[in-house]
Amino acid sequence: MHYVAAKICRASEIGINGNLFAGTMLSWLDEAWTAFVGYLCRSQSLITLKMEEVLFRRPVKISHHVRIYASVRRVGTTSLTIDVEARRFDFGQDTEELVCSTGSSLSISTTRQPNPIDSRLRVSIDQSLADFARPR
């Protein structure tokens, strides 16, 4: 999977049981997958078509660092389907633990007028993923 973004959990994002709000996690994922697919499709205007089952495996607490990863599952005509994971970074162990996973489909058509993904980008999506992984 490709590293996309990192978030640090703030006190204002914590509910009464001491865990990060589910809706806050979803907004983090939403922003991250929009950035990921936007880069791959070279498009600033994307629409989320579908959010799949979201599994919250472990709690996120104040000051936890959450790293978000994504990978492409399917390249459609006007849409891309991706897998997304949020992982909590453990500074003591230097490891990551899965906290949340889902899948999402995004469309580059913002109206019902189909807007196909550029054919040059379709063939070069693997290259784009390599670029995504490379620091600039």
Ligand X SMILES: CC(C)(COP(=O)(O)OP(=O)(O)OC[C@H]1O[C@@H](n2cnc3c(N)ncnc32)[C@H](O)[C@@H]1OP(=O)(O)O)[C@@H](O)C(=O)NCCC(=O)NCCS
Residues near ligand X (CB under 6 A) are 47-50, 76-79, 105, 107, 109, 111-112, 114
Q: Which is nearer to ligand X, 14 or 49 (CB)?
A: 49
Measured from the CB of residue 72, what is the shortest distance to ligand X in angstroms?
12
DSSP labels, 41-83:
HT-S--EEEEE---EE-S---TT-EEEEEEEEEEE-SSEEEEE
Cβ at position 112, least distance to ligand X in Å: 4
Residue nearest to ligand X (CB): 76
Q: Which is nearer to ligand X, 18 or 114 (CB)?
A: 114
- Taking the least distance from each CB to ligand X, the nearer of 63 and 111 is 111
Phi, psi of 40 (to 5 degrees): -65, -40
Report yes or no: 38 and 46 within 8 Å, Cβ to Cβ. Answer: yes
Counting Cβ atoms within 10 Å, is residue 6 exposed (0-12), middle (13-18) or buried (19+)?
Answer: middle
C-beta of 74: minimal distance to ligand X in Å?
8
| Helix 22-41 / helix 125-133 crossing angle, nearest 10 deg | 120
Nearer to ligand X, 49 or 129 (CB): 49
Residue recorded with tokens 């660092």: 65
**Least distance CB 64 / ligand X (angstroms):** 27
